[in-house]
Every structure is written in C-alpha cells, then in structure tokens.
Structure 1
Amino acid sequence: MAESPAAEQLESVLNTTVERSTNSSLDPPTEAPGEFVSLHWAEIPSLVIALVGLVGNSIVLWLLGFRTQRSPFSVYILNLAAADALLLGSYFGYVMWEIVGDLKSLFQSLLEDCLLNMSYCVGLSLLASISTERCLSVLFPLWYRCHRPKHTSAAVCAILWALTGLFWGVLVALYFLNKKHFFRYYILLYFIQFGWFSLLTCVLGLSSLTLVLRVQCSSQRRRPPRLYLLVLLTVLVFLLCGLPLGVIYAINFFSGSSLMPYELCRLLACVNSSANPFIYFFLGSQWRRRGREPLRVVLQRALGEEKVGGEGGGALPTPTLWINYSEDENKMLRLGSP
C-alpha cells in the first residue's frame, strides 16, 4: 500500500525542520555578526524571556510547594507553573542546542518537540480547567461550595499530566518500534491532538466569556475579586500569545503553509508562559501600603479562595485569604487596625 500524501508531507516537513536546525547550528566563530543575528533574530530575545520566566515560575513553584498552605485553586496554579517552567526550560535547551550544537538526528528533534508540545498541551488543559471551575463557582455557588469533591483539583491535574504524558510517550515509542510506518501513525495521533486542542480552546473561550459577562454585570455593584481578574488576565494573555502557536502548527500541518514565522510563535509562547507569575504578583500587591510585603503574602492574596456572597448566589464571591499571619497580626486584624 502506497504511503499517503499526508504522510509524505509530514515526513518532508520534519526533514525540513531537521535540515533547518542543522543549517542554523553553525559554529558561531565562523559566522559574521550580522548573519548570526539574522539567523537567530527570534531565538535571542526568546532566550532572555525564557530565563526570566524560569525564574518567575520557579519562585511560584517554591512558594506554593513549600511555603504556603494549599488551597484548591493554588493546586491548579502550582501545576500551571510547572507546565510553564517545563516549556521554558525545554525551549531554552532546544534553542541552545540549535545555536551551539549539531541537531542532525530526527529523533532528537522529535524528542524536543514532544517536550515542548506536552508542556503546551498541559498548560492549555489546566487553563481550560481553571476557567471552567471558576465559571461553575459563579453560576452554581452553593453547589460548588457544598458538593464539590475535596480533592478535585489534585485529581484533575494528575489526570491531565497522565493523559498528555501517555500520548507523547506512545508517539516516541512508535518511533522506536515501527519506524517504517511511524508517519502514518503520527497522522492519526495528530488528529487526536488537534481534536483535543480544538475542544479545549472552545471550552476555554466559552467559560471565559461567561465569566467576563458575570463579572461585568456584578462590577456595577462591587469590585470583582482578584481571583476572577487573575483568571481573565491569564486567559487573555494565552489567547494573544499562546494560542497562535497551536493555530499556526495546525495550519502548517494541513496546508504546508504558515501565516507567520514559527520562531515568532514560539517567542510569543515564551511570553505567555513568562507573564503568568507577573500577573499573580501584580494582582496580589497592595500599592497603597507602605513597605514591602513577603512574596508569599502577595501570592496568597492573589490566589485567595472564595466565600459565597449574597442570597441565592446573586453576588460575586468575595475572596477569603489563606495567609498564615502571626498571632499579633491576627489580633490587629480582628481589632480593625491597618
């Protein structure tokens, strides 16, 4: 049976990627400065952004993992920071490998792409889960408060990591077990990935739109909680910077053409993963207070859990902070001191 055109197209695309990576991994001393900059015009700033994002996400991982009390929402943010750190770290290693190394093996290119795509898919899945859960907490506050299973966040995160890791693990295993028909299997797996990407994008868009409408209706009576602003800003940054990578990759797979350079899409994806920690600390800061606050306090203020406000769920929930103040600070708060 002859190989399908789509398989031939995929093999050509992957071989072109490896060839481009090999050509771009020239020895830097033999390149003119202008030629080096023209070849890596997007990789150079993306490396800087990736390093900054790695530092920010590492701080979030340290604070949420070891220094703060866990809440249902902070579990999602902890896993999202891990996915962002994996994407940024994989991208940094991949680009450095392209610049100073010799990326000739198709398996090496496939492995790096799997790490990047796996972290990208996990991040998208977590964002869709976060947005959906916040939407449910607004539409059905009493049910969410009373009947939500205790370990839902941890279970959802574990399932998402397991499914995504299994998917890309099967892809790498197929490369070793059946190289002859690997591209034919890859097409089938890619259609599964594309369907999952489309489903998550629709869920993310609908739940975010519902949350925006709810916040807009309630903002006339009271200021919306930081938690909802955090979710909306994180989703907005993803739609502007993270979504183009998946869209361009799908267009390139089906049509062989690209609307924008692939390097630029990866640069935007690095911006998306690096921006999340800054969103958390920006929303958690209180600019009117004098003096510096610990990052732990700032982060937990941004990720404060919610109480159901009003009767029948008519009002937006107000955030309840999970901050471990000292005994003296708790006394001051009870007395109403600033």
Structure 2
Amino acid sequence: MASSDKIVYCPLIQRFIDSTLNATTQTTALSSMNVFAISLHGLFASVGILENLLIIGIVGFHVRRSVISIWILNLAASDLLATASLPFFTLYMANGDTWKLGATFCRINSSIFFLNMFVSGFLLAAISMDRCLVVLKPVWAQNYRNIQKTGRVCGVIWALAVLCTIPFYIYRDTIQLHNGKIMCYYHYAQLLPSGSFDLGSLCKQREKGLAFMKLFLAFLIPLIIIILSYTAVNASLARRGCRRPFRFVRLVVSVVVSFVLCWAPFHLFSVMEVVTAKGHPAQKLAAKALPISATIGFLNSVLNPILYVFSCPDLCKKIRQSLGAVMESVLAEDLAEFARRRSTARSINTAEVVLQQRNSIQTTSMKTGEQEQEEVFINSAQN
C-alpha cells in the first residue's frame, strides 16, 4: 500500500493520521468496551452461524417448497453471510483495531455487513406486505401468489441491496497510520471530480449522503412498511370479527421491537456523527458508540430465525423430526459399525479355534505316527 503522504484523505481523516505522527509504537491494549464487543461478536457469530445453517439445511432440503419457505431461506442466507463475516471483525478488534487482511477483503467484509442490513430490511418489509396481501386480498393471493414470483421478488431484493451496497464498497479502504495500525474505514476522498472543489465539503456531502441513505432505505422505509402492513392486517381481522391469536400478536410485536432495538442505535449514531459539529461531545460519543451499535445490529441476524422460524410450530416439528432422523441415522451407523466389528471379531475367534483344532489334530496324528515307528523299530530290534 502506498504511504499516506501520497494519498489524498478527507481533512478529518488526515488530522487523525497526523495525530499519530509522534506515536511510534502500536498500542495493543484493549479497552473494556472492545473486550465486551469482542465477546458479543464471538457469541453472535457462534449462535448465528449454527442456527442459520440449521435453518438452511432443514428448510432447504427437508421442507416442501412454499412461499414462506422461500422468504425464510433468503433471510437465513443473508443472516448467515452477516454472522460468517463477524469473526473477521472480531479479529480486527482483537488486533487493536488493526486490519491485516488487505484492502480488498476490507471492502468485501465491510460490504457484507451493509448488504445484510439492506437485504434484511427489504425482506422483512416484503414478508410483512406478503402477509398483508394474504389477509386483505385472499382471492388475488390464491391466484397470483406462487413460488416462482416470490423467487423473482427475492432476486430483485438482492439486486437492489447489492446496488445500495456499491457506494459502501467503493468508499471503504485501508488507512495506514503512523503508529503502525491499519484502519479499515471510510475513504471518501476517492473518485474526485476533475474541476475545482472543496475537499472538506465534498467529503461531508458523501458522508451525509451514505448515512441518510442507510437511515431511509434500510431502516425507516422498511419499518414504516412493517408497521402499516400489520396494522392493516389487524384492522381487517377486527372488521371481520376475527379474534387475533396471541401467537400472531406476539410475533408482530417481537418483529417490530427487535428490528428497532437492533438497528436504531446504529442509524442514530451514524446520523449523529455526520450532523454534529467537529469536536462536539455528541460527535465524540457517536464515534465511540458506533462499533458497539454495529455489533448490536448483528444481533438481528441471530433473532430473525427465532422470530420467523422457531415461532412456527409446524416448522419446529419438522426441525425436530429432521434432527431426530439425523440422530437415528448416526446411531444406526454406529450400531451397524459395532455389529460389524463384533461379527469380524467372532469370525476371527472362530477361525482361531478351527486353526487350533487343526493344529491339535495334526499334532496328534504326528505323535501317533512317531509311536508306531518306535513300536516297529523296537519289535524289529527284538527279533
């Protein structure tokens, strides 16, 4: 990587780089906040990877294909990507906020986080709209709601999410500091216009643009769609005099609350960081709180399978049956292997017994022959 004096950085980043000029040694001590974030990363990564792999394995191979299974598979795939990227963020923090895996992987790994953020928001909004249409337009849903169209909608969602993630990929880079650390952070002073411009204002515009794009596209708009959809469903059921099941109410409340609690802190501090003045206490607070709020955002990838999958009794039953079948298969293989070994051992023992009997017979016959020869020799000598 080229040295920092040959690369143009935004004024704020440049000042941060210059502040490390006199620091010749890299500090590796971890703060209590970093230790807490690393612990959360490890927990979320372990639980998220296991449960999302379980969902993909069971729903993908043991559940009959349906509209809801398509939604769940895509949501689990997005959450699996996010939780699979967590160990690399954990490594980054454990190394004292030093990225050692190269600039390209810095962009890719960071982009996975934003991709999951957009895909999760879009999918949760689409699932809410799908359930709303099933209740409000049952005839239309019966005629036009199918697996193929749901798959195409998921394809469009992934394409839109990738499109929204491209700016975050472009403006992510490794930044070499004078104290030996390498940051994996935003680098807005790229793709600069050819005419005259103010670098500070340009960087600020790009920073604000991405922050508010995340806020509206990945959080506010999906949240509004989710709330309006379930409100419409609730109103429709109330007009028909239908009693809302407790499970449905609990699911709706859990979805909205978990989505808000997991993503609101990240978007709040992202916007706070770009709208407050330089050096303001709120900006310093946002800069310190952003890493842990991003970690909380990963929690949504752990909660989604619990809310959307394990809240479905039929699917839970299928998962238990599949796990039972797997355990039975493993036990059957172990029992078969044990029986095969016992059979082999019996065969060996039987062969040894037969061989011993043959050796005994041969020895006996040899002894008898020798005795006969001795008797013949004695008789001939006496004569």
Instruction: Bin the TM-score by the shorter chain.
Output: 0.5 to 0.7
Q: Which residue, 193, 217, 223 being the options, matches 1:196?
A: 217
| Cα displacement (A) at 1:175 | 6.9
Q: 3-state DSSP class of the match of 1:62?
A: helix
Partner of 2:12: 12
- Cα distance change, pair 11–151 in 1 and its aligned pair in 2 (3 A): farther
| Residues 246/38 of structure 1: CA separation in 2 closer, same or farther (3 Å cut) | closer
- 1:195-250 Cα offsets, whole Å, 9 max, x none, are 423322322222133334445x3897546396775455334321222333233323
Deviations 1:134-183 (CA, angstroms, capped at 9, x unpaired)? 1121111122112335522111111111122133235535779x825294
Structure 2's unaligned 5+ residue stretches are 1-7, 21-25, 174-188, 193-201, 278-282, 324-383
**1:197-276 superposed matches below 5 A:** 197=218, 198-214=220-236, 217=238, 221-222=242-243, 224=245, 230=251, 233-255=254-276, 257=283, 261-276=289-304
Asked whether the 8 Å contact 1:131–1:231 carries over to 2, the reply is no
The one-letter amino acid paired with 1:137 is V
Q: Distance in 2 between matches of 1:42 and 1:120?
A: 19
Q: In the superposition, relative to structure 1, how do residues 56 and 186 fare at CA in structure 2: closer, same or farther (>3 Å)? A: same
Aligned match of 2:166 in 145, 169, 175? 169
Is the contact between residue 218 and residue 224 of structure 1 (CA under 8 Å) also seen in structure 2? no
For 1:319, the equivalent position in structure 2 comes to none
Shift of 1:92: 2.7
Q: Return the offset for 1:265.
A: 1.8
Q: Which moved more, 1:223-232 or 1:68-77?
A: 223-232
Matches of 1:79 and 1:71, distance apart in 2: 13
Decide which moves more: 138-147 or 120-129.
138-147
Q: Which has the larger radius of gyration?
A: 2
What amino acid sits opposite 2:12 in the alignment? S
Distance across 1 between alignment mates of 2:12 and 2:255? 36
Compute the displacement of 1:15 (Å). 8.4
Report deviation, 1:128: 0.5
Distance 2:122 2:83 in 1: 17
The Cα of 1:69 is off from its aligned counterpart by 1.3
Alignment CA distance shift 1:253-1:208 (3 Å): farther
| 1:131 CA drift (Å) | 0.5
Tell me, yes or no, if the aligned pair for 2:171 and 2:190 is still in contact at 8 Å: yes
Assess if the C-alpha contact under 8 Å between 1:137 and 1:144 holds in 2. Answer: yes
Structure with greater contact order relative to length (CA < 8 Å, sep ≥ 6): 1
Question: Per the alignment, in what secondary structure is the counterpart of residue 283 of structure 1?
Answer: coil
Structure 2 partner of 1:283? 311
Q: Does 1:103 align with 2:99?
A: yes
Range 90-99 or range 64-73, more displaced: 90-99
1:28-83 Cα shifts (integer Å, max 9, x gaps): xxx4xxx5544322231232122111111110011122222110111111111111
Find out whether 1:76 has 2:71 as its counterpart: yes
User: What is the TM-score of this pair, normalised by structure 2?
Assistant: 0.59
Residue identity matched to 1:199:
I
Pairing of 1:23-42 with structure 2 (within 5 A): 27=28, 31=29, 36-42=31-37
Relative to 1, partners in 2 of residues 1:253 and 1:99: Cα closer, same or farther, differing over 3 Å? Answer: same
Is the CA contact (8 Å cut-off) linking 1:226 and 1:284 kept in structure 2?
no
Kept in 2: contact 1:90–1:112 (CA 8 A): yes
Q: Within 1, Cα distance between the matches of 2:44 and 2:142?
A: 39
> Deviation of residue 189 (structure 1)?
5.3
Contact map agreement 2:106 2:172 (CA 8 A) in 1 = no
**What is the alpha-carbon distance in structure 2 between the residues aligned to residue 81 and residue 56 of structure 1?**
9
User: CA deviation digits over 1:81-114, x for unaligned, max 9?
Assistant: 1111112222332122221373277776554332
Going from structure 1 to structure 2, the CA distance change for 1:137 and 1:115 (only over 3 Å counts) comes to same
2-side partners of 1:175 and 1:261: how far apart? 20
Contact 1:15 1:106 in 2 (8 A): no
Amino acid at match of 2:226: L
Instruction: Kindly provide the amino acid, as one letter, of the partner of residue 267 in structure 1.
Output: T
SS in 1 for 2:245: coil
Distance 1:15 1:114, change over 3 A: farther
Q: Indicate conservation of the 8 Å contact 1:135/1:211, yes or no.
A: yes
Q: Distance in 2 between matches of 1:283 and 1:60?
A: 13
Letter in 1 for 2:156: I
Q: Output the aligned Cα RMSD.
A: 4.2
**SS across alignment from 2:190:** coil
